[in-house]
């Protein structure tokens, strides 16, 4: 291939549309705008969502208030390759990662992913492990342990769910007390 044979790929370049230069061009007279009306006039077009004076869809639909996602989960991800900075045999927890300066803070659950090589044997405790991370931790001679996230304050519930949550009856409370005592 030579420099004079270079060409852009087919369909990537198109000719500029020339309008208002006679009927023979196909874009003459009305310049592809049609006859009269708002679309024919110069200046600003209609705003997004405008339906010609009809009540637009966003106003026809009801407002949905107080939507709270009950089980919103956020993860702090870390790769097994980042754990090579730690001493062999040490126990890795979200709090210890903050102490070592690998994480800034622990505000959400910790997820261990399998990117990178793990060269040291570690005891890793986290809220979630990918399959690749599990394989690499066990191959390096370490162990992993899934810890449960701390129960968190859920805030307000959506209006429809407030009455559906059943309270514990007195009988179930008494049964629990009896099982603890025995």
Per domain, the residue ranges of the chain are 75-146
| pTM metric for this prediction | 0.47
Q: How many CB atoms lie within 10 A of CB 122?
A: 22
Asked if CATH classification 3.100.10.10 holds for the domain at 75-146, the reply, yes or no, is yes
Phi and psi dihedrals of 77, rounded to 5? Answer: -95, 145
Q: What DSSP character marks residue 164?
A: T
- Average pLDDT taken over every residue of the chain: 85
CA distance 156 to 44: 44
CA distance 78 to 92: 12
Q: Could you read off the pLDDT of 69-125 as tens digits, one per residue?
A: 666 677 889 999 999 888 999 999 999 998 888 888 877 889 999 999 999 999 999
- Classified as helix, coil or strand, 59 is helix
Are the C-beta atoms of 97 and 61 separated by less than 8 Å? no
């Amino acid at each position: 291939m030579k420099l004079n044979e270079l060409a852009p790929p087919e369909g990537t370049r198109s000719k500029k549309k020339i309008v208002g230069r006679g009927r023979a061009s196909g874009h003459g007279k009305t310049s592809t705008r049609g006859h009269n009306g708002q679309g024919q006039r110069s200046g600003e077009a209609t705003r997004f969502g405008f339906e010609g004076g009809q009540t637009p869809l966003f106003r026809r639909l009801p407002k949905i208030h107080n939507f709270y996602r009950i089980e919103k989960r956020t993860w702090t991800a870390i790769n097994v390759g980042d754990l090579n900075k730690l001493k062999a045999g040490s126990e890795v927890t979200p709090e210890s990662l903050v102490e070592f300066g690998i994480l800034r803070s622990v505000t959400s659950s910790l997820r261990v992913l399998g990117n990178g090589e793990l060269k040291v044997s570690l005891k890793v405790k986290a809220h979630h492990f990918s399959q690749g991370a599990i394989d690499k931790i066990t191959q390096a001679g370490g162990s992993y342990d899934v810890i449960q996230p701390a129960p968190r304050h859920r805030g307000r519930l959506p209006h429809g769910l407030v009455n559906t949550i059943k309270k514990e009856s007195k009988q179930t409370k008494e049964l629990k007390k009896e099982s603890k005592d025995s």
